[in-house]
Structure 1
């Protein structure tokens, strides 16, 4: 499995704009792609701005290429994201998952 990491920044006054775009546009589009496993949207405040971290999980780098094109390190940023953010990374990082640990199931 491969994790794809991307970041974008927004003004605090527009805190809901990118998460709304993510839920309504990004996630439905990703769910229809072969090799897409899942996604997380994270947020933190830094230097008076909000920074969003998007982590998507893919079965392989080939699946990412099918989504991103022949230059998988180039970010795929939709117009709705551009409108919601003040700036964003033009490139992404990919990480091969070495271990994937979930919380233990509660004892019954």
Structure 2
């Protein structure tokens, strides 16, 4: 299993808007992609913004390519997401999952 990890920052209302975008637009697309195994959206409030971390789980790099395209290191950040974020990574990292406990 491969974890695909991406970071962003937002205002508190922007973080809420991003979460809505993820659940209504991104998640349905992920679920349609073969090899998608799950997703987490994490948030961490700081004094002046909210940090977001998105972790999606995949069966293989072929599965990731079906979602992200050939350049798997490039983040997929749609205009609706960009509009509510203060900043976001343009790249992602991939990690082999060594232990996963449901």
Normalised by the size of structure 2, how large is the TM-score?
Answer: 0.93
Work out the CA distance in 2 between the residues paired with 1:96 and 1:59: 10
Q: Which moved more, 1:10-19 or 1:28-37?
A: 10-19
Q: Deviations over 1:48-107 (max 9, x none)?
A: 1101110000001111112111110100111111111111000000001111123xxxxx
Q: Which moved more, 1:16-25 or 1:6-15?
A: 6-15
Match of 2:82 in 1: 82
Runs (4+) of structure 1 exceeding 4 A deviation are none
Normalised by the size of structure 1, how large is the TM-score?
Answer: 0.88
The structure with the larger Rg is 1
RMSD value, Cα = 1.2
Structure 1: runs of 5+ lacking an equivalent: 103-108
**Does residue 64 of structure 2 align to residue 58 of structure 1?**
no
Match of 2:10 in 1: 10
Match of 1:49 in 2: 49
- Give the Å deviation of 1:47: 5.0
Matched residues, number? 102
- Give the Å deviation of 1:11: 1.2
Shift in alpha-carbon separation, 1:34–1:13, aligned structure 2, 3 A: closer
Structure 2: runs of 5+ lacking an equivalent: none
